[in-house]
Amino acid sequence: MLSLFMSISGGVSWENVIAPLKEVSLVWVVVYLFYISFTYFAVLNVVTAVFCQSAIDGAQNDHASKVHAILANKEQHLTKISTL
C-alpha cells in the first residue's frame, strides 16, 4: 500500500516498483499500471474539477455582488437627483 501511495505522490519511481512485480508475474505489472492510470486520469481529474468548479462559483458570486452594489448606487443617485 505504501508503494502504491508513493508511486502516485512522486515518492518512488515507477521503475523501482515494477521491477519486483515483473519477477512475480506480468499480471501484477498490468494491475499496477491500471492502478496508476486510473488514479491519475480519473481520481485526480475529479479533484481538479471540484476545485475549478468552486473557483467558478466564487467568481459568479463576486459578479452578482458587484451587480447588486451597482444597483444600490444607482438607487442612491436617483434619490439625490430627485431631492435636487
Q: Which three cell numbers stand for residue 7?
A: 508511486
Which residues are CB-contacts of 5 (< 8 A; sequence separation ≥ 6)? 11
Q: How confident is the model at residue 74 (pLDDT cuts 50, 70, 90)?
A: confident
Q: DSSP label at 64?
A: H
Is pLDDT above 90 for 2? no
Average pLDDT, the chain: 83
10: left (phi over 0), alpha (psi -120 to 50) or beta: left
Q: Which residues contact 11 (CB under 8 A, 6 or more apart)?
A: 5
CA distance 63 to 60: 5
pTM of the model: 0.53
| 8 Å CB contact between 16 and 23 | no
